[in-house]
């Protein structure tokens, strides 16, 4: 069999297609390459939100969901939807892992940790409140909440409103206290910046941090406080707050033998704080400070090496794109910088960590800066170098690349930086185009979700730091000059790739080739 014409898939993370140019860094950017491709080659918009990607209707997509749908070629019912269903139909209370935590909490203390927002990317506030309601029903008296504030997948100062909701529900139930309030910057770091994790750990375990009696008032006070760079401490960056009682003592530190439920369903930003609390081999934070013999439960499987009880088991889709490449004997390359490397590997492969045969991976280190508005170029040039070199060598049948800039810089809410981020990606597209010109490739250009396409909340006037529900562009740059479907979503990308490579779709793939071939 002759070798198929190779394919390059370029994912511009966070670059949505918002028709309104106002406060739209994608529209504001000087991007001659992307604009030209959109006009010159077959192009269309595809959906990345709600039921199109296995999320609740109205929920914006994210990088985990996006890459999982792209790589599997089908709609995957996401963990948030599965847990939503359990809350709605009343089966959450019957879950064995949660029942075990509740039973342990009755004789010790029960701690519920998680991102307290309705962002729906890492956690959902309704799930956390559902756990408190379950604790009340099962007679758990000592219940403490460790509330991680969002401001990244939600408006920057929406956390106070969420905490008010939590406090109101706790008062209604007559059980539960907010014990700590911590910005996700510290509690949910995923880049091995252990000094951040340690600050969260010290608040949760040792009661170290800014002390306050009223969590909502303390959070609002944080909004009026500036850091060393002159930026206000909005939800994402809130320094750990420890809630104390009338005597000045922390109301709910995690102690030896306590039960802990981590309500985050997305794994990547849950691992470090989990290791800090549970791993006997981790030197930082110091082991002698860590609570012993915790009954620790997680909503999903954060890592296959963890042995904690899990609320919902992992769903592994069969015959994802990587498996098809393996079966066909195709060599494929996955490359991204650190921030998005798990997405083009683990998530793209349907939640499988190990590479398939023929799959090569190359990660470029992300810059070590506090926030990416300080370096909006990130490591895009290095990622582009990897792609250009791979194209020139000609060894791969499929190249998959993610440029993180639009998403990671979009999350900062800084418009000039987001504009620069999009322009950086556009320059990389130009370099890839030049490398492809003497070759015979098909080039797919798309995104996993929007972000930089809306930088100011139209309702509040605050920075818009979270994802959007706008569709994303899909461009097919090749010598094929037909029309593309207008009803597509992310699940259709893998079938399009397989169509270009001349292979029938696995039965499990429900997506369709985006090309109109009839």
Catalytic residues: 63
> What is the Cα–Cα distance from 428 to 470, expressed in whole angstroms?
23
Residue 31 and residue 473 in contact, taking contact as beta carbons nearer than 8 Å = no
Q: What is the longest distance spanned by two Cα atoms in the chain?
A: 78
CA contacts within 13 A on the Cβ side of 423: 12
DSSP per residue over 361-423, as a string? EEEEPPP--SSGGGSTTTTHHHHHHHHHHHHHHT--SEEEEEE-HHHHHHTTT-HHHHHHHHH
Q: CA dihedral defined by 408, 339, 377, 70, rounded to 10 degrees? A: -80
Residue 232 and residue 226 in contact, taking contact as beta carbons nearer than 8 Å = yes
Q: Specify the 3-state DSSP secondary structure of 46.
A: strand
> What is the Cα–Cα distance from 54 to 510, expressed in whole angstroms?
13
The token pair at 150 is: 């969002």
Query: Which of these, 173, 177, 143, 175, lies nearest to 163 by C-alpha position?
Result: 177
Instruction: Say if residue 51 is exposed, middle or buried (CB neighbours under 10 Å; 0-12, 13-18, 19+).
Output: middle
Residue 51 and residue 57 in contact, taking contact as beta carbons nearer than 8 Å = yes
Q: Which residues of 268-297 are buried (b: 16+ CB within 10 A; e: fewer)?
A: bbbbbbbbbbbeeebeebeeeebbeebbbb
């Amino acid at each position: 069999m002759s070798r198929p014409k190779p394919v390059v898939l370029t994912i511009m993370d966070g670059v949505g297609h918002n028709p309104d140019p106002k406060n739209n860094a994608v529209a504001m950017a000087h991007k001659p390459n992307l604009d030209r491709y959109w006009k010159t080659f077959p192009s269309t918009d595809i959906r990345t939100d709600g039921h199109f990607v296995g999320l609740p209707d109205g929920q914006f997509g994210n990088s985990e969901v996006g890459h999982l749908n792209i790589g599997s070629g089908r709609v995957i019912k996401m963990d948030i939807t599965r847990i939503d269903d359990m809350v709605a139909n009343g089966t959450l209370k019957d879950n064995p892992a949660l029942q075990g935590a509740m039973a342990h909490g009755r004789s010790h203390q029960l701690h519920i940790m998680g991102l307290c927002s309705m962002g729906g990317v890492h956690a959902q506030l309704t799930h956390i409140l559902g756990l408190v309601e379950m604790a009340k029903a099962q007679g758990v008296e000592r219940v403490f909440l460790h509330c991680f504030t969002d401001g990244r997948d939600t408006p920057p100062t929406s956390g106070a409103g969420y905490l008010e909701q939590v406090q109101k529900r706790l008062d209604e139930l007559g059980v539960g206290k907010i014990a700590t309030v911590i910005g996700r910057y510290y509690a949910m770091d995923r880049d091995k910046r252990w000094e951040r994790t340690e600050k969260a750990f010290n608040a949760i375990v040792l009661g170290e941090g800014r002390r306050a009696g009223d969590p909502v008032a303390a959070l609002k006070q944080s909004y009026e406080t500036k850091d060393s760079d002159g930026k206000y401490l909005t939800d994402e960056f809130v320094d750990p707050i420890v809630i104390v009682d009338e005597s000045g003592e922390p109301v709910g530190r995690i102690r030896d033998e306590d039960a802990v439920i981590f309500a985050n369903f997305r794994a990547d930003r849950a691992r470090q704080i989990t290791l800090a609390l549970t791993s006997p081999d981790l030197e930082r934070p110091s082991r002698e400070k860590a609570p012993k013999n915790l009954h620790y439960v997680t909503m999903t499987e954060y890592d296959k090496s963890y042995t904690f009880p899990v609320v919902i088991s992992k769903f592994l889709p069969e015959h994802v794109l990587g498996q098809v490449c393996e079966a066909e004997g195709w060599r494929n390359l996955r490359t991204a910088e650190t921030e998005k490397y798990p997405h083009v590997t683990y998530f793209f492969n349907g939640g499988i960590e190990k590479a398939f045969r023929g799959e090569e991976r190359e990660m470029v280190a992300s810059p070590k800066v506090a926030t990416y508005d300080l370096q909006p170029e990130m490591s895009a040039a290095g990622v582009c170098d990897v792609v250009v070199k791979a194209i020139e060598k000609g060894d791969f049948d499929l190249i998959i690349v993610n440029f993180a800039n639009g998403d990671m810089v979009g999350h900062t809410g800084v418009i000039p930086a987001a504009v620069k981020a999009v322009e950086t990606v556009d320059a990389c597209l130009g370099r890839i185009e030049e490398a492809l010109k003497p070759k015979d490739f098909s080039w797919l250009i798309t995104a996993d979700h929007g972000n930089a396409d809306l930088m100011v909340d139209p309702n509040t006037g605050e920075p818009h730091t979270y994802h959007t529900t706008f569709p994303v562009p899909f461009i097919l740059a090749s010598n094929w000059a037909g029309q593309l479907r207008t009803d597509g979503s992310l699940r259709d990308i893998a079938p399009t790739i397989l169509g270009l490579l001349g292979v029938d779709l696995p039965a499990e793939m429900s997506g369709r080739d985006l090309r109109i071939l009839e």
